[in-house]
């Protein structure tokens, strides 16, 4: 095995969250696909195929078209080349957050990612999201992502007493909450985050970002519970800011988590352990 | 709760250490100008209460800060977790404290 | 997809680990000052180019960890700003400056 092949294997093992052997990509340019290759350039597409942790890269030739998205490419492979390819999508317009995959080493929402923007010399490498168990091919099991979200108490708890004072859009807390509410739960930040990879008990950027919006919501009745929950995990954020780099809706979870750290810091100092817990 | 405390103490010790490290860097640059000798170091430190207080605080803060940081690294990069790690880091902190106070006592 | 903040984190962490390993030795050697001769033996041993270079490295590590730590504190407790890249550059720059300052002072 050449050094290059070894290198790509380790890269694949890290980024895809899966391991296995890699075959050199020799795409079947000559295969019959029903397209006129003389007028259409071919994309060389490597896709991770396999179940669970076992799998390998397979190559497909896909015609390149104008304004083609990565999801279009994957769909083409399933419809015209190999119907057994497993992947997940729903809305196709960047709202539902279900089509996230690792594209050329970086987690992306494939329905809004143009091939022309991410392909390297006409090549694409598509694998499942990192940090989540692979079900098959490009489909990961999202359960751990949402279970951690639940365990982080990142859900709205209605205030037992009605909030009389109207929430104004311009007030600082509301602005802080507004900055984080456009999350589409795509788990792209979760896949990009090294702290998630390093700490099994780290809730991840998305859940903590949601927690921060709740802490800033006056209508929420369990601020203390939210901060208690935040205190068990938010310090594991190492401010790499990968989440902010990759977030498709341009949120900045690192800022949100920094806010949680500040509040946890204050809350911890406000109640020393020798005073006991309330 | 424990994690929140470790985090808080880590940041507090960092706030204490930041100005002290800056001072220490200044002292290093000043002290090495014409070579180090035991006499020169002791002349600076012996009998100085200010020196004792500042560097005593330094030793305490470092003995808290280093084990908590090392604990995070061992958890994340080595996968060592649980009570064994906490005990080892506690001992490391005590070792730093003991050696640090011994050094302080030696130069004062 | 490694970018500035990630490298800043890595430098901060690696320098922290190195300092945690160095600190017990540093304290131990200073503790020898009770007997001046013992400390002077170590200082004489350390009076050569290679040890001086290593010491300069330690000064750089200390400065790196300080500036990296200030970065974290600003990020977490300061008001957020997107001028991260310049802060990182500043941190590295100050650390290198301190190292060169040490070298210049040590050989002057």
Q: What is the CATH number of the domain that holds C61?
A: 1.20.1300.10
Residue C71 lies in a domain: yes
Confidence class for position A21, pLDDT limits 50, 70, 90: very low
Q: And the tokens for A66?
A: 């104008």
Yes or no: say if B66 and B93 are a contact pair by the CB < 8 Å rule. yes
Within 8 A of B75 by CB-CB distance, chain A residues are 198-199
Segments making up each domain of chain B, as ranges: 2-107
- Asked if B25 lies within 8 A of C63 by C-beta distance, the reply is yes
Neighbours of chain A (3+ CB pairs under 8 A): B, C
Partners of A139 in the β-ladder = A136
Per residue in A46-92, pLDDT tens? 999 999 889 999 999 999 998 999 999 999 999 999 999 999 999 99
Chain C nearest CA to A106, separation (Å): 7
Considering only CA atoms, which of B105, A132, B15 is closest in space to residue C27? B105
Burial degree of A78 (CB within 10 A; 0-12, 13-18, 19+): middle
pTM to 2 decimals?
0.86
Give residue C84's pLDDT. 63
Distances (CA, A) of A113 to A107, A108, A183, B32: 11, 7, 17, 57
Architecture in CATH of B2-107: Up-down Bundle (1.20)
* Identity of the residue in B32, B42, B70 whose CB atom sits nearest the CB atom of C105: B32
Confidence class for position B69, pLDDT limits 50, 70, 90: very high
Higher pLDDT pick, A26 / A193: A193
B interface test, pick of C17, C20, C27 with most B CB neighbours within 10 Å = C27
Higher pLDDT pick, C50 / C105: C50
Partners of B64 in the β-ladder = none
Among all residues of chain C, which has the CA nearest to that of A194? C6
Segments making up each domain of chain A, as ranges: 3-140, 143-275
For residue A5, pLDDT over 50 is answered with no
Sign, Cα dihedral of C39, C45, C49, C52: negative
C interface test, pick of B25, B43, B73 with most C CB neighbours within 10 Å = B25
Among A139-148, A158-167, A175-184, A209-218, the range scoring the smallest mean pLDDT is A158-167
Confidence class for position C88, pLDDT limits 50, 70, 90: low
> Total structural domains in chain C?
1
User: What mean pLDDT is predicted for residues C50-68?
Assistant: 87
Within 8 A of B21 by CB-CB distance, chain C residues are 62, 65-66
Residue C35 lies in a domain: no
Confidence class for position A242, pLDDT limits 50, 70, 90: very high
- Asked if A231 lies within 8 A of B3 by C-beta distance, the reply is yes
Per residue in B21-57, pLDDT tens? 989 988 888 887 777 778 888 888 888 889 899 999 9
Please name the residues between 28 and 87 in chain B that touch chain C, using a CB distance below 8 Å. Answer: 28-30, 32-39, 41-42, 59, 62, 66-67, 69-70, 73
- Domain of residue C70: give its range: 4-22+49-107
Within 8 A of C97 by CB-CB distance, chain B residues are none
Architecture in CATH of A3-140: Roll (3.10)
Q: And the tokens for A33?
A: 């696909």
- Asked if B8 lies within 8 A of A265 by C-beta distance, the reply is yes
DSSP-derived secondary structure for A82-148: -TT-----S-SSSSS---EEEETTEEEEGGG-BHHHH-BTTEEEEEPPTTS-EEETTEE--HHHHHH
* Contact B25/C at CB under 8 A: yes
For residue A32, pLDDT over 70 is answered with no
User: What mean pLDDT is predicted for residues B2-12?
Assistant: 94
Q: And the tokens for A170?
A: 């311009």
Within 8 A of B8 by CB-CB distance, chain A residues are 264-265, 268-269
Within 8 A of C9 by CB-CB distance, chain B residues are none
Rounded distance between C-alpha atoms, residue A9 and residue C31, angstroms: 51
Within 8 A of C27 by CB-CB distance, chain B residues are 59, 96, 99-100, 102-103
For residue A124, pLDDT over 60 is answered with yes
Yes or no: say if A44 and A59 are a contact pair by the CB < 8 Å rule. yes
Among A49-53, A151-155, C31-35, the range scoring the smallest mean pLDDT is C31-35
Rounded distance between C-alpha atoms, residue A49 and residue A60, angstroms: 12
Within 8 A of C3 by CB-CB distance, chain A residues are 241-242, 245
Confidence class for position A40, pLDDT limits 50, 70, 90: low
Neighbours of C3 (CB within 10 A): 15
Say how many residues make up chain C.
108
Work out the percent of chain B whose per-residue pLDDT is above 70: 99
CATH of the structural domain A143-275, one choice from 2.40.128.50, 1.10.1060.10, 3.40.50.620, 3.40.50.300 = 1.10.1060.10
Give residue C86's pLDDT. 63
- Asked if A231 lies within 8 A of B76 by C-beta distance, the reply is no
Report residue A105: phi and psi, to 5°: 85, 0
Neighbours of chain C (3+ CB pairs under 8 A): A, B
A60 by DSSP, 3-state: which? Answer: strand
Yes or no: say if A228 and C42 are a contact pair by the CB < 8 Å rule. no
């Amino acid at each position: 095995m050449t050094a290059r092949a070894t290198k790509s294997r380790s890269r694949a093992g890290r980024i895809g969250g899966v391991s296995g052997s890699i075959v050199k990509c020799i795409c079947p340019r000559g295969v019959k696909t029903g397209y006129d290759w003389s007028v259409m350039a071919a994309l060389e597409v490597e896709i991770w195929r396999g179940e669970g942790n076992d799998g390998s890269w397979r190559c497909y030739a896909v015609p390149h078209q104008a304004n083609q998205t990565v999801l279009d490419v994957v769909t083409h492979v399933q419809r015209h080349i190999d119907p057994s390819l497993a992947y997940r999508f729903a809305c196709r317009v960047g709202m539902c957050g279900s089509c996230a995959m690792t594209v050329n080493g970086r987690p992306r929402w494939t329905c809004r990612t143009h091939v022309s923007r991410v392909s390297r010399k006409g090549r694409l490498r598509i694998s499942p999201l990192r940090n989540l168990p692979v079900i098959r091919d490009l489909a990961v099991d999202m359960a751990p992502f949402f279970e951690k979200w639940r365990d982080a108490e990142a859900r709205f708890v209605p205030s037992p007493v009605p909030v009389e004072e109207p929430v104004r859009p311009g007030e600082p807390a509301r602005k802080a909450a507004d900055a984080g509410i456009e999350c589409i739960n795509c788990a792209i930040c979760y896949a990009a985050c090294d702290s998630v990879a390093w700490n099994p008990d780290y809730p991840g950027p998305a859940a903590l970002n949601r927690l921060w919006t709740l802490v800033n919501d006056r209508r929420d009745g369990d601020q203390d519970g939210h901060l208690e929950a935040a205190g068990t995990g938010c310090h594991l954020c190492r401010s790499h800011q990968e989440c902010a780099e990759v977030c498709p809706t341009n949120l900045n979870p690192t800022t949100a988590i920094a806010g949680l750290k500040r509040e946890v810091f204050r809350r911890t100092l406000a109640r020393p352990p020798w005073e006991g817990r309330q | 709760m424990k994690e929140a405390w470790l985090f808080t103490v880590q940041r507090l010790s960092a706030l204490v250490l930041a100005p002290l490290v800056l001072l220490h860097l200044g002292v290093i640059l000043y002290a090495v100008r014409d070579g180090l000798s035991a006499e020169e170091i002791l002349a600076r430190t012996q009998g100085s209460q200010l020196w004792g207080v500042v560097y005593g605080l330094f030793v305490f803060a470092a003995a808290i800060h280093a084990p908590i940081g090392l604990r995070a690294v061992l958890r994340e990069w080595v996968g060592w977790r649980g009570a064994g790690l906490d005990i080892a880091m506690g001992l490391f902190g005590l070792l730093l404290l003991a050696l640090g106070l011994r050094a302080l006592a030696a130069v004062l | 997809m490694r970018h500035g903040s990630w490298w800043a984190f890595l430098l901060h962490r690696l320098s922290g680990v190195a300092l945690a390993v160095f600190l017990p030795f540093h304290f131990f050697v200073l503790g020898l000052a009770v007997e001046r001769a013992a400390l002077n033996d170590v200082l004489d041993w350390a009076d050569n180019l290679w040890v001086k270079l290593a010491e300069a490295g330690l000064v750089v590590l200390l400065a790196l960890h300080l500036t990296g730590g200030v970065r974290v504190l600003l990020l977490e407790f300061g008001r957020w700003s997107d001028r991260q890249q310049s802060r990182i550059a500043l941190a590295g720059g100050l650390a290198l400056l301190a190292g060169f300052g040490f070298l210049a002072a040590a050989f002057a």
